[in-house]
A = this chain, B = another copy of it.
Amino acid sequence: MRVEIVAVGTELLLGQIADTNSAWMGEQLAAAGIDSHFHQAVGDNQARIVLALRTALARGDAVIVCGGLGPTQDDITREAIAEVMNVALHRDEVIAARIAAFFGDRQREMTENNLRQADVPEGAIAIDQVQGTAPGLICPLGAKVLYAVPGVPHEMAEMFERGILPDLRRRSAEAGEEAVIVSRVLRTWGTSESALAAALQDRFELLDRPAAGPGTVTIAFLASGIEGIKVRLTARAGNGSEVTKLLDAEEQEVRRVLAERLGDIVFGLDDTSMEQAVADLVVEQRLTLGLAESMTGGLIASRLVSVPGASTWFRGAVVSYASEVKFSLLGVAPGPVVAATAAEQMAEGARRVLGADVALAITGVAGPDEQDGQPVGTVFVALALPERPVDVREIHLPGDRERIRQYSTISALDVLRRALLERAGSGRAG
């Protein structure tokens, strides 16, 4: 079964809203093991909707068209489907009565336009409207099928699950295809996409060979800008437990290879953020944390505070943006503030004034101009861990002002993460 999603709405083409409906349905189809090779978006124009539907039917077995089922004059998906099916529309009196009752219950006036939603192409089956006034449609076209759902996200989702997915599953089972597809994402920071690809070259080649077993795994990379690079493992097999087994084995192997060749670059799985990874280590080691931020201006603090439960371990931050605040509040010695010494003294000052076990400090040049003789992109990160001298790193980052600040934020958190990992390791060794 190859299913194509066609989203209808001029607002999608104009970029006034992002097409989250297609993304959501794509995710549901993948989870059900049903292939979806193409998505289309098209405006509120009958000739073009017809062309999009014909294109989709020609290259797939099923089409889900989403949107354009409302009551107003620009909702013309029903008419376009009737044209594709080469049939007329007829008014379904059961649906019409239900629409009238919807307005009656709410003591709202119904216009003649509203009854357009009761028009159904000959030969199509309506999917009852539960939440709104627009019914969905199941339209058989020979061995193929065309489904229509409203574009309102919660109506679409409810109708997809109740009326479409079961029908697709039935057709898929009749065609003898039943597979489960699940993805798992390893989140990495501190390397490039090409270095990852080179490190995992052997895995690619291995996975490209005809599968020995009953399932398959594929690897893909997703560059996620300031959030690092994601390594996505996707497994396909006959059932959920086979998929989990495949993913577990591949994850273990990928982690082993990456650790061996590129170090501690994997900071989490799936939706785990860098701040969550840091928080887990801080909590595990029963520490409290304080920050001194200059160029990042509170970004590191705001990310840490977004972790639920942060109040048990996060003390706070001094955003010492002006140099005098660094001197007076953190006790930095007057002099250049984009410097290793300044970062070191910021960390010591933050640990002291915030009463924290661990302090992370950052100072640097986000641009547009250089500062203290340091070029744009120069960043000093200092880390004060218990019972150790303050450790300072110099980092050079590319990009404009905003990107440098964002990269600095995650780079500083990664410095803390790796140091805490190492501390846990040496603690265990001792």
Chain B residues within 8 Å of A48, by CB? 37-38
Q: Is the CB–CB distance between A297 and B308 below 8 Å? A: no
Q: Is the CB–CB distance between A325 and B18 below 8 Å? A: no
User: Contacting A321 at CB < 8 Å: which of B30, B113, B192, B315?
Assistant: B315
Closest B residue to A7 by beta carbon equals B39
- A121 CB → nearest B CB, Å: 22
Chain B residues within 8 Å of A40, by CB? 38-41
User: Contacting A368 at CB < 8 Å: which of B74, B308, B316?
Assistant: B308
Chain B residues within 8 Å of A403, by CB? 154
- A288 CB → nearest B CB, Å: 8
Q: Assuming the A-B contacts A321-B311, A355-B324, are A27 and B39 also in contact, with contact meaning beta carbons closer than 8 angstroms in the complex?
A: no
- A320 located at the interface, meaning its Cβ lies under 8 Å from any Cβ of chain B in the complex: yes
A408 CA / B232 CA spacing, docked (Å): 35
Chain B residues within 8 Å of A272, by CB? none
Q: Is the CB–CB distance between A27 and B14 below 8 Å? A: yes
Stretch at the interface among A139-147, A217-225, A415-423: A217-225
Interface SS of chain A: helix, strand, loop or mixed? mixed
- A11 located at the interface, meaning its Cβ lies under 8 Å from any Cβ of chain B in the complex: yes
User: Contacting A41 at CB < 8 Å: which of B15, B17, B39, B302?
Assistant: B39
Type the 1/0 row for A36-74, where 1 means its CB is closer than 8 Å to any CB of B: 111111111100100110010001000000000011111
- A108 located at the interface, meaning its Cβ lies under 8 Å from any Cβ of chain B in the complex: yes
Closest B residue to A323 by beta carbon equals B311
Chain B residues within 8 Å of A316, by CB? 318-322, 325, 329
Q: Is the CB–CB distance between A111 and B18 below 8 Å? A: no
Q: Is the CB–CB distance between B20 and A72 below 8 Å? A: no
Q: Is the CB–CB distance between B296 and A302 below 8 Å? A: yes
- A281 located at the interface, meaning its Cβ lies under 8 Å from any Cβ of chain B in the complex: no
A304 CA / B324 CA spacing, docked (Å): 18
Type the 1/0 row for A285-328, where 1 means its CB is closer than 8 Å to any CB of B: 00000010101111111101110101100111111111011001
Q: Is the CB–CB distance between B354 and A325 below 8 Å? A: yes
- A168 located at the interface, meaning its Cβ lies under 8 Å from any Cβ of chain B in the complex: no
- A269 located at the interface, meaning its Cβ lies under 8 Å from any Cβ of chain B in the complex: no
Closest B residue to A329 by beta carbon equals B353
A27 CA / B295 CA spacing, docked (Å): 33
Chain B residues within 8 Å of A43, by CB? 37
A108 CA / B396 CA spacing, docked (Å): 12
Chain B residues within 8 Å of A12, by CB? 23, 26, 39
A37 CA / B8 CA spacing, docked (Å): 11
- A405 located at the interface, meaning its Cβ lies under 8 Å from any Cβ of chain B in the complex: yes
Closest B residue to A72 by beta carbon equals B197
- A82 located at the interface, meaning its Cβ lies under 8 Å from any Cβ of chain B in the complex: no
Q: Is the CB–CB distance between A310 and B321 below 8 Å? A: yes
- A333 located at the interface, meaning its Cβ lies under 8 Å from any Cβ of chain B in the complex: no
- A183 located at the interface, meaning its Cβ lies under 8 Å from any Cβ of chain B in the complex: yes
Chain B residues within 8 Å of A320, by CB? 316
- A252 located at the interface, meaning its Cβ lies under 8 Å from any Cβ of chain B in the complex: no
Type the 1/0 row for A187-212, where 1 means its CB is closer than 8 Å to any CB of B: 00000111101100000100000000
Chain B residues within 8 Å of A386, by CB? none
Q: Assuming the A-B contacts A113-B194, A322-B311, are A14 and B42 also in contact, with contact meaning beta carbons closer than 8 angstroms in the complex?
A: no
User: Contacting A322 at CB < 8 Å: which of B25, B197, B304, B314?
Assistant: B314
- A61 CB → nearest B CB, Å: 15
Chain B residues within 8 Å of A113, by CB? 194, 197-198
| 14 further A-B pairs in the complex, CB-CB below 8 A; given A297-B310, A316-B322 | A11-B220, A14-B234, A16-B232, A19-B19, A37-B42, A72-B221, A73-B197, A153-B225, A296-B302, A296-B305, A297-B317, A306-B405, A315-B321, A318-B319
